[in-house]
Every structure is written in C-alpha cells, then in structure tokens.
C-alpha cells in the first residue's frame, strides 16, 4: 500500500504489523558493566598515519547501560 492510500482506519493495522517485526529483532547482551572503565574509539581522518592509535587517551566510566533494540547504548 502506498502512502497516499493510507487512511485513518488503516493506521492501527499498520502499527501492529510494525510492532511484530520490531519484536523479532534480537537484543544484544551488554559487553560491559556499570562502573567499568572504558576508552572510546575515535575516527581516523582520510590521510591519518596508520601507526596512530584508534582509541582516545581519555578513560571514561560507564554510568548506565540503556538496552535499546538491536544494541546496547552506554551512558559515560
């Protein structure tokens, strides 16, 4: 069904169909625990040297693990 063919009566059926697909997505287990110390990866520029580090020099502490599908997001 195209977007122009959707009416107000079709919205609940479309919503239910989207929810069933969303529930089938597997939730990843968290790799890190709360209060654990971690470093974050940094993006290299296009002409960066290969010998440079891929991680930051700062050390962060995980405060909260937020379980969102399909992956876990960490608050530092």
Query: Does residue 20 lie in a domain region?
Result: no
Please tell me the distance from the alpha carbon of residue 26 to that of residue 70, in angstroms, as a whole number. Answer: 6
Classify residue 9: in a domain, yes or no: no
Structural domain of 74: 27-76
Q: Within its chain, how far is the Cα of 45 from the centroid?
A: 23
Residue 11 lies in a domain: no
pLDDT at residue 36 in the model: 94
pLDDT in tens, 21-72: 777 767 778 889 999 999 988 877 777 777 677 788 899 999 999 888 778 8
pTM above threshold 0.85 = no
Q: What is the pLDDT of residue 3?
A: 82
> What is the Cα–Cα distance from 71 to 42, expressed in whole angstroms?
19
Number of domains, the chain: 1
Residue 59 within a domain: yes
Q: Is 51 a domain residue?
A: yes
Within a domain: 44: yes
What is the predicted pLDDT for the residue at 29? 81
pLDDT at 33: 92
């Amino acid at each position: 069904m195209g977007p122009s063919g959707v009416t107000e009566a079709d919205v609940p059926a479309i919503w239910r169909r989207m929810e069933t697909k969303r529930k089938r997505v597997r939730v990843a287990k968290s790799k890190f625990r709360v209060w654990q110390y971690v470093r974050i990866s940094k993006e290299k520029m296009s002409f960066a040297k290969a010998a440079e580090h891929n991680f930051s020099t700062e050390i962060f502490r995980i405060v909260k693990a937020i379980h969102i599908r399909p992956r876990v997001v960490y608050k530092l």
